[in-house]
Amino acid sequence: MKNYQQLKTIFKRLSHLTYIHRIMMWDEAVMMPIGAEESRTNAVATLSGLMHKTLTLKKVKKLIDNAKQENLPDFWDKANLALMEKEYLKAVCVSPKLTEELTISRMASEQAWRKYREQNNWQGFLPYFEKTFRLAKEVAQRQAEVFHQDPYDVLIDQFSPGFNQKSIDPIFSGLKKSIPVLLQQIVERQSTDKLNIPKGPFAIEKQKALGMKAMEALQFDFQHGRLDVSHHPFCSGIQTDVRITTRYREDEFLSSLEGICHETGHALYEQGLPRNWMDQPVGQAGHSMTMHESQSLLVEMQVCRSLPFFQHLAPIAQNLFGQQDALVAENLYKLSTRVKPGFIRVDADEVTYPLHIILRYETEKNLVNGSLSIQDLPAWWDEHMQKYLGVTTLGNNKNGVMQDVHWPAGLFGYFPAYTLGRLVGAQLFATFIKLHPDFFDKAKTGDFHLLKKWLNENIHNHASSLPTDDLMKKVTGESLNPEYFINHIKQRYLGR
């Protein structure tokens, strides 16, 4: 296993550089003074170039070829070697120059996005977006040749290995049919609900304290992580140093809380990965963002938008913000499960959420295959928002096509992972709750520990050693089945 051991050393070094890369990106989003943008972009581009160079050294190819002959006895090592080869093949077909160009362009367009989104300035943002898309597509095309795949499938596979347009199309078509029917029934049913809107302002320090109480209840490990503020909530870092962020508005506190719960789901996954594989590809959770989003959405949607969750949290909120009727658990639960079509994906309820994703999926698909051009995006967006959600984003690009950081950051092909992850999460949770029918009774009193324990043992421990489909069969007894999600929606929102 001499060759494989050498590979492990190289990938260990790469994991160190990945950690550094993530902290630098976290720092840029959370800490960096605005005047350092150019310096930061140059520095990170140099780092990315170095990582690319390390990964594509000639000897890596030779070591991989030789290691394949070494008949690794261990299942994890085999999976690790396969992931090493995939990473190598994806990188080696792209020149260092193109890698650095894409890095610089991604960072520049993300910086431009922060500025121009604020101004609702689509034209200002356009050239940055076009460049990043062009370079990202170029990379995908090169990888597509190597893997004999369609370029958009390559982009999907990057975040959701095991999925492609052929497997996603029927799933999303099904949701496109079933959700509007459910949506209409739910909106009608909720139309008689009396909502009591909590009165602010809600001091940011208190919102943070509340969020941290939720994180504690969910068993986030503060020895190995922290909570901060950024434009767009995210989770980054590595298993020993997990950084989650949220954003606060003083007029209401539920959206920051929900963001924190979502990112805590990601964080529990990272913190639950097996420590002895932490610096190898197989030990990462990030190989499948579908699995990653399954964890965040399971925690946010199944657990933290439940009545028992608010039964635990409402007294804490009242303690922080002062007594008011709107802060009782039943009302907070109603607010957090209110269904209403809107502009913003991250603020969407769980019923309309998949429609936001389907729009993005169809958009990416058509952008990559060339049947849609970037210039036409605002009109396309408006047309589809009207069709799917009955709202117009005409002239409101800030809350339309410019709302997400993903495309400016060069993350094309990511979006399907949210809805695929949501479906996976619903299916996993159905299994969990069957095994632990008393979970919500305990949760009411603040005891959520069964959740983390079960996820640690059944999902997190496996890291990237199993394909998504194998893991689903192992844990739930069947392949991905969207019915679990549909049933959850029917049960929670229509009482059946």
Give the torsion sign (CA, 165, 462, 139, 68).
negative
* Cα separation, 171 vs 165, whole angstroms: 10
β-bridge pairing 235-238 and 241-246 = antiparallel
The separation between the first and the last C-alpha atoms of the chain, rounded to the nearest angstrom, is: 56
* Cα separation, 151 vs 90, whole angstroms: 12
Contact 390, 340 (CB under 8 A): no
Nearest to its own copies of 137, 243 (CB atom)? 243
Contact 178, 390 (CB under 8 A): no
Q: How far is the CB of 18 from its own copies (least distance, A)?
A: 9
Q: How far is the CB of 190 from its own copies (least distance, A)?
A: 41
Q: What angle do CA 432, 438, 439 make, to 5 degrees?
A: 55
DSSP 278: T
Cα Rg, the chain, nearest whole Å? 22
Contact 52, 93 (CB under 8 A): no
97-103, long-range: CB within 8 Å, 24+ apart, which pairs? 98/135, 98/138, 98/139, 99/48, 99/49, 99/52, 100/45, 100/46, 100/48, 100/49, 100/52, 101/135, 102/132, 102/135, 102/136, 102/139, 102/410, 103/41, 103/44, 103/45, 103/48, 103/49
Contact 235, 266 (CB under 8 A): yes
β-bridge pairing 241-246 and 225-229 = parallel
Nearest to its own copies of 161, 237 (CB atom)? 237
Binding residues (CB under 8 A) for its own copies: these are 13, 16-17, 19-20, 23-24, 27, 31-36, 38-40, 42-47, 50, 221-226, 238, 240-241, 278-279
**Cα 336 → chain centroid:** 20
118 is catalytic: no
**Cα 318 → chain centroid:** 31
Q: Does residue 201 have a cis bond before it (omega within 30 degrees)?
A: yes
With a CB cutoff of 8 Å and minimum separation 6, the contacts of 140 are: 151, 152, 154, 155, 368, 412, 413
* Cα separation, 116 vs 74, whole angstroms: 51
* Cα separation, 201 vs 477, whole angstroms: 48
Catalytically annotated residue among 263, 293, 350, 364? 263
Q: How far is the CB of 273 from its own copies (least distance, A)?
A: 12
β-bridge pairing 225-229 and 235-238 = unpaired
Q: What angle do CA 214, 421, 455 make, to 5 degrees?
A: 55
Query: Would you please indicate which residues are annotated as catalytic (active-site) residues?
Result: 263
